[in-house]
Amino acid sequence: MPFIAKVTLLFVVFVDLLGQGLVFPIINTLVMDPGTSMLPRDTTDAMRHFDYGLIIGVFFICWFLGAPYISKLSDVIGRKNAILICLFGALGGYALTIGALYMNSFPLLILGRAITGLTAGNQPIAQAAMIDGSADEEDRNRNMGYIITGVSFGLVGGPIIGGFLSDPQFLGSISSVKLPFYACFALVAIAIALVLFTFREPDEGPAERQPFVFRPAEIFELLWQIRKYPKVLRLTMVFFFFHIANMSFYIFVDNYLTSRFDYGTLGGSMVMLTIGVALAFSSTFLVVPAQKRFSKQAILGGTFVVWAVSAAAFVASPIALLTFVPVFCFYFVFGIAYPTFLGLYSAAVSDEEQGWVMGVTIAVFTLVAGIISLLGGDLIGVDLNLPFYGVIAAALIALLVMFLAWNRPDIRVLTRKSAG
Looking at this protein, which amino acid is placed at residue 343? G
| Total tally of structural domains belonging to the chain | 1
Cβ atoms of 109 and 101 closer than 8 Å = yes
Segment 355-403, tens digit of pLDDT: 678 778 878 888 898 899 888 877 887 888 999 999 999 999 999 999 9
CATH of the domain at 18: 1.20.1250.20
For residue 127, tell me if it sits in a domain. yes
Q: Which H helix or E strand runs over 92?
A: helix 79-103
Report how far residue 55's alpha carbon sits from residue 4's, in angstroms, rounded to the nearest whole number: 36
For residue 396, tell me if it sits in a domain. yes
Report how far residue 10's alpha carbon sits from residue 125's, in angstroms, rounded to the nearest whole number: 11
The whole-number average pLDDT for the span 164-181 is 82
Nearest to 391 by CA among 305, 322, 329, 292: 305
pLDDT number for residue 406: 94
Report how far residue 254's alpha carbon sits from residue 268's, in angstroms, rounded to the nearest whole number: 5
**263: region left, alpha or beta (phi > 0 left; psi from -120 to 50 alpha):** beta
Looking at this protein, which amino acid is placed at residue 70? I
For residue 20, tell me if it sits in a domain. yes
Domain range holding 116?
3-199+227-414
The whole-number average pLDDT for the span 125-136 is 73
pLDDT band at 202 (very low <50, low <70, confident <90, very high): low
Q: What is the mean pLDDT of the chain?
A: 84
If you write DSSP's letter for every residue of 28-65 in order, what string do you get? HHHHH-TTSSSS-TT--HHHHHHHHHHHHHHHHHHHHH
Torsion of CA 124, 301, 406, 125, to 10 degrees: 0
What letter does residue 211 receive in the DSSP assignment? P
Nearest to 71 by CA among 169, 218, 179: 218
Report how far residue 164's alpha carbon sits from residue 381's, in angstroms, rounded to the nearest whole number: 30
For residue 360, tell me if it sits in a domain. yes
Report how far residue 231's alpha carbon sits from residue 415's, in angstroms, rounded to the nearest whole number: 11
Nearest to 352 by CA among 65, 67, 131: 131
119 three-state secondary structure: coil
Phi, psi (rounded to 5 degrees) for 135: -85, -35
For residue 279, tell me if it sits in a domain. yes
Look up the pTM and report it.
0.80
Cα angle 255-102-184, degrees, rounded to a multiple of 5? 65
| Max CA pair span of the chain | 64
For residue 397, tell me if it sits in a domain. yes
Torsion of CA 257, 278, 117, 164, to 10 degrees: 70
**pLDDT higher than 90, residue 220:** no
Segment 35-94, tens digit of pLDDT: 788 888 888 888 888 888 898 889 888 888 876 677 667 777 788 888 898 899 999 999
For residue 105, tell me if it sits in a domain. yes
Cα angle 214-218-221, degrees, rounded to a multiple of 5? 165
Of the two residues 400 and 30, the one the predictor is more confident about is 400
pLDDT number for residue 200: 79
b/e code 385-415 from CB counts within 10 Å (16+ = b): bbbbebbbbbbbbbbebbeeebeeeebeebb
Report how far residue 129's alpha carbon sits from residue 355's, in angstroms, rounded to the nearest whole number: 8
For residue 213, tell me if it sits in a domain. no
